[in-house]
Each structure stands twice: as C-alpha cells, then as structure tokens.
Amino acid sequence: TTEAGRDFIRDIVQADLDSGKHAKVATRFPPEPNGYLHIGHAKSICLNFGIAQEFGGTCNLRFDDTNPTKEEQEYIDAIEADVRWLGFEWSNLHFASDYFETLYGWAEQLIKAGKAYIDDQNQEEMRVNRGTLTEPGKNSPFRERSVDENLDLFRRMRAGEFPNGARVLRAKIDMSSGNINLRDPVLYRILHAHHPRTGTEWKIYPSYDYAHGQSDAIEGITHSICTLEFEDHRPLYDWFLENLPVPSRPRQYEFARLNMTYTLLSKRVLNGLVKQGFVSGWDDPRMPTISGLRRRGVPPEALREFIRRIGVAKANSVVDYGMFEFAVREALNRTAQRRMAVLKPLKIVIENYPEGQSEQLEAVNHPDDEAAGTRKITFGRELYVEQDDFMENPPKKFFRLTPGAEVRLRYAYFVTCREVVKNAAGEVVELRCTYDPATKGGNAPDGRKVKATLHWVSAADSVEAEVRVYNQLFSAVAPDATDFAAGINPQSLEVIADARVEPSLAEMNTGEAIQFERQGYFCRDKDSQPGKPVFNRTVGLRDTWAK
C-alpha cells in the first residue's frame, strides 16, 4: 500500500499510474562498477527498489559498464552483495555492455540520418571549441563530413584501426546551444582496453549520455531516477530518444544526492583512500561504503530507516552525521544483547572474598526483551573494572570508585575501595576492595544506596580482546574533496589491544551486534583469531558529535 505524497517522485509515479500513463512502474539502479557502493548509493537503491516494491513494479540492477579502464569484476560482485544485504532483490540483472551492438547500430543510423559525425579534433581542441556558458561554441572543421566518410571512419574505429583518442563520434546538435551538453556531445570514443565482460571485442565505447537513456528504453524503464547533476543532461537524454527507434519512452527525474557532514561520498575519493593506504580497504569500518558500514556493525534496517527519514527532495543539502548514528543506535538498542566488557582494565581484588572460590551470577541479556533470556557470569576474588571508573582524587560530582567509596557491580554486589596500589612510576595498578555478601543481586537489605553501578568482568574467566574504536575519518565538518588526504583525522582509529570481555563474547558470530554495557554497540570483526576476538565499535551510547 502506498502513502501518497511521501515525496515528489512517488507523487509522480502515483499520478502516472492513476492516469494510466503506465500500467506498471519500472525503475533501475545503474551503478558504474568502478568502486564499492557508498551510503549515497544506498539512498538511490532505497528509492528505486523501494518504489518498485511499494507500487508493485519492477526494479533492475544495471551495471553501467561503459568505461572498461576503471571497471572490475570485484566491484560487480561487491555491488550485487551490497544491494542484497540492504534487503533488495532485482527483477532483472543487466549490463549496459549487453546493449553495445544495439547502441552501435543506432549510432550508424544517426550517421546515416546526418545527425552524427566523426571528429578528428583532439581533446583540447574540442574543449576549447565547445565554448563556455557565456560564449557559444565553434563548429568543428570536420562537422560537414559526408555520410559515407563518417560511416567508413566509424566502422574503422570499431575495427580498431586507430589509436586511443584519434577521433570520436559526435552527435550533430547545436554548437551554440545554451546547454553545453547539446553542443555536439561525444557518443563514442576509441579505447583499446580489456573489458570485464566483452574482453577485447570492442575498440570503441559509448559515452554515459549515449548509453544511459537508450539502455533505459531497451529495458522499458518508466522512471529513470538520477541525481541533480544530470538535470542539464535531460535535454540530451530526450534528444536521443526522439531521434532513435527506441522501443519505449522513459523519462528522467532528478533528486538531491545525499551529502553528510564529516563525510566524502565520491568513488574517486574513496578509491584514493584505499589505494593510498589511508584505510585498510573498501570495507574499512571508517569508510562510508555499504561494506564498511556492514563491517562496522550497522544493521541494514538502520540504514533503510535513516534513508526513509531524510526523505527525497529536489534541493541539495547536507545531512548531519549524527542523524545516521541516531538511527543506528535506535535499531541496535532494540536488537543488541547486552554483555560486559572492560576496555581499559584495572584489577580489583576483593579481600574478603575467599581465595580459590568463585560463583555464578545471573545477568539479563536484554532489559526490554525477556525472550532474550539470561546468562551466567562468574564472580570471584579478582575482577577488572574500567580505569576511567576510578579516581583517586575525584572532583565533586564523581560518584564512581574512589578511596572509601561504595559502588554496585552490575548483577553482583556492593564493593568498597579500601586501598590503592601503585607501581614505581606512581600509576594506579590495582585496587584492594571489600564486598558486602548481603548485597547479592545488587541491593542492600538495610536499604543503603549507592550512586554508581559499574560494569566488570572476572579476571580469571574473561577473555582478552582487541577493541577498535572509530571516530570520524575526516576532521572537518565539510572535508575538501580536492585535498582529502590533508583532511584525514589522525585519531580516526583507536586500537585497544588488551580489553577484557565476558567469555560468551569469544564465541559470537561475526557481525552480530552486542551492547557492551555503558560503552556502546560493538560487533566482532573478521580479523578475530581463535582465543583473541576483535571487536569494532559500531557507535557509542550517546551522541558525542559537536553541534
């Protein structure tokens, strides 16, 4: 069922169905396989696939593989996996390269109709003669070539007779058009390169503009949805459809791309981050790629919900990164089981707890979900608490562990700090404490209150773990895409090598979200080794982003 009026594109689709202009809506998501998908693509995926779902139509996944020098099978595979992980399945899988023969035939038809010509100008000459926004372009000296000569040259281009860049096929439209896209755009260029699907069969490749609309038409796409940069290309998109015997008439609609604070969403930049080693790969958890977010522990439903909330508009804007984290936190709060983990351990010894003994206590797995059940945790004489939960000389409002203070250990007992043990350098290395056996479960029979409840783990039973705490990859709210290396946050990753976690965490499956109580949401990373798990912090418990 459709909520009418949710955004202007859905309104258009609804109107086209109501008027009978289309019996069924057909959309497509058309990535170029020149990198991994990022969160901006997720917006386009949710829009295209979402519309197909909501209106009972179809959505194709089409690889826009017209630029073989930048495209790889690895990217094709990753894109398919990412679309599926986001929760969508395509109606049909297509490749623009499947249409190369058809597109070529149509180009010959344009030549025969006197609507396209071979230009021998080099790139620089073409650029200069294209003019500017205020200066009309100049006709190419090759513009009036005969149809026969154009056809002959085009066929020889296809046959591979000429080197890269020697000549191009251009549409003959209008060199003085106010829209520069209509100033005789390039349809084909010579490229001797290996294509992931067609190998070396082709020596010429269609431009994005020439391939895109015709591919839409071949597939019967009704609404070809793209980002605002393509608004000025729409007259060209329509020109091809009007001048070629295409089997259907798609229409292009533009929406505002997703931009986020502290983030650069451009495959060129993301590729640079990977290639120059600023991150460990496309799936580095600091990357705004779908695979990075997945590895970081972001659930797909959180991503979809975030995209639903930001909506679809016609004007560009920048979304606060905190809004994304809010959606992640909300989803994880609902689903993530709770566990205890001590990121920076400080040993405490419970002096009045019998040596060599321990006991099993019961801990709740999810406070709002009884079905998640309980688990046993081990309490004993030696425990770890968080270094940050102790201060020898506390300020006034510090209610956690201090000399003489009593606090609650979650699911366990009240303990009191009796003595601080330091090393030769004067650093606190251990606390000597006592516990009150009458407070088992966390309440005192005499009604005595404590102001803090701390998480902890058993020293003997806990497992050592590496914890990776991520911060924003770029320091600036609006990083500079032209000099992204300079904007990298040197503190984007903090590795804690010797955290201590409940033993049950060592057996978790990769990817499963867990809340480390009082710390945030974490998931096990694929770098985990037997006996040495690695955890990624997905997001902290509170919004710590500068406002």
User: In the window 9-68, what residues touch Mg ion (CB under 5 A)?
Assistant: 32
Identify the three-state secondary structure at position 531: coil
Q: What distance lies between CA 266 and its chain's CA centroid?
A: 11
Nearer to ligand ATP, 65 or 466 (CB): 65
Question: What minimum distance in Å lies between the beta carbon of 315 and ligand ATP?
Answer: 13
By CB under 6 A, name the binding residues for ligand ATP: 30-32, 40-41, 43-44, 64, 226-227, 257-258, 265-268
41 interacts with, out of ligand ATP, Mg ion, none, CB within 5 to 8 A per kind = ligand ATP
Token readout for 522 is 């974490």
175, 136 in Cβ contact below 8 A?
Answer: yes
Tell the smallest beta-carbon distance from residue 32 to Mg ion (Å).
4
Q: Does the annotation list 532 as a binding residue? A: no
148 assigned to a ligand binding site: no
> Residues with catalytic annotation?
32, 257, 267
SS (H, E, C) 41-93: HHHHHHHHHHHHHHCCCEEEEEECCCCHHHCCHHHHHHHHHHHHHCCCCCCCE
**Residue number with the smallest Cβ distance to ligand ATP:** 40
Interface size with Mg ion, residues (CB under 5 A): 1
Q: Which does 227 bind (CB under 5 to 8 A by kind): Mg ion, ligand ATP, none?
A: ligand ATP
Distance CA 310, CA 47 (A): 12
Instruction: Give the 3-state DSSP-derived string for 158-191, with helices as H, strands as E and coil as C.
Output: HHCCCCCCCCEEEECCCCCCCCHHHCCCEEEEEC
Output the smallest distance, CB 141 to ligand ATP, in A: 33
Q: Is 208 annotated as a binding residue?
A: yes
44 marked as binding residue = yes
Question: Would you say 32 is a known binding-site residue?
Answer: yes
Question: Rounded to the nearest whole angstrom, what is the least distance from the CB of residue 56 to ligand ATP in the complex?
Answer: 22
What is d(CA 4, CA 2) in angstroms, rounded to the nearest whole number? 6
Q: How many CB atoms lie within 10 A of CB 437?
A: 10
- Residues 353-412 binding Mg ion (CB under 5 A) are none
Quote the tokens at residue 154: 């085009």
Residue 226 binds which entry of Mg ion, ligand ATP, none, CB below 5-8 Å type-dependent: ligand ATP
Minimal distance, residue 267 CB to Mg ion, in Å: 7
CA angle 376, 381, 385 (to 5 degrees): 75
DSSP-derived letter for residue 488 is B
Residue 38 annotated as binding? yes
Q: How far, in Å, CA of 466 to CA of 497, rounded?
A: 4
- Compute the Cα dihedral for 22, 23, 24, 30 and give only its sign: negative
Residue 72 within binding range of Mg ion, rule CB under 5 A: no
Q: Measured from the CB of residue 298, what is the shortest distance to ligand ATP in angstroms?
A: 17
Closer to ligand ATP at the Cβ: 67 or 150?
Answer: 67
Q: What, of ligand ATP, Mg ion, none, does residue 319 touch, CB below 5 to 8 Å by kind?
A: none
If the CB atoms of residues 21 and 268 are measured against ligand ATP, the closer one turns out to be 268
* For ligand ATP, the closer CB: 93 or 460: 93
| Nearer CB in complex with Mg ion: 69/122 | 69
257 binds Mg ion (CB under 5 A): no
Q: Which does 248 bind (CB under 5 to 8 A by kind): ligand ATP, Mg ion, none?
A: none
Query: Left if phi > 0, otherwise alpha if psi is -120 to 50, otherwise beta: which for 189?
Result: beta
Per the listing, tokens 């773990």 go with 465
Q: From the CB of 44, what's the least distance to ligand ATP, in Å?
A: 4
According to the annotation, is 33 in a ligand binding site? yes
Least Cα distance to 297 among 80, 515, 126, 136 occurs for 515
39 in a known ligand binding site: yes
Residue 64 marked ligand-binding: yes
- Tokens linked to 328: 């992640």
Alpha-carbon gap, residue 413 to 450, rounded angstroms: 11
Burial of residue 366, with CB atoms counted within 10 A of its CB: 0-12 exposed, 13-18 middle, 19 or more buried: middle
The least CB distance from residue 272 to ligand ATP, in Å, is 11
> How many other C-beta atoms lie within 10 A of the C-beta of residue 238?
15
- Report which residue's Cβ sits closest to Mg ion: 32
Q: Which is nearer to ligand ATP, 7 or 32 (CB)?
A: 32
Residue 249's φ and ψ, nearest 5 degrees, are: -120, 85
CB-count exposure of residue 243 (10 Å: 0-12, 13-18, 19+): middle
Q: Choose between 73 and 146: whose C-beta lies nearer to ligand ATP.
A: 73
- Tell me the sheet residues that pair with 463: 501
Q: Which is nearer to Mg ion, 61 or 450 (CB)?
A: 61
Is 299 annotated to bind a ligand? Reply is no
- Considering the complex, state which of residue 265 and residue 328 has its C-beta at the smaller distance from ligand ATP: 265
> Per the annotation, does 480 bind a ligand?
no
Return the one option of ligand ATP, Mg ion, none that residue 203 interacts with (CB less than 5 to 8 A, by type): none
| C-alpha distances out from residue 75 to 63, 82, 397, 402, Å | 10, 10, 53, 54
> What are the E-state strand segments in 322-443?
337-339, 341-342, 345-350, 358-364, 374-380, 382-386, 406-409, 414-422, 428-436
Residues of the binding site for ATP: 32-34, 38-44, 227, 257-258, 265-267
Binding residue positions for L-glutamine: 64, 208
- Contact footprint for Mg ion (CB under 5 A): 32
Residues flagged as binding site = 32-34, 38-44, 64, 208, 227, 257-258, 265-267
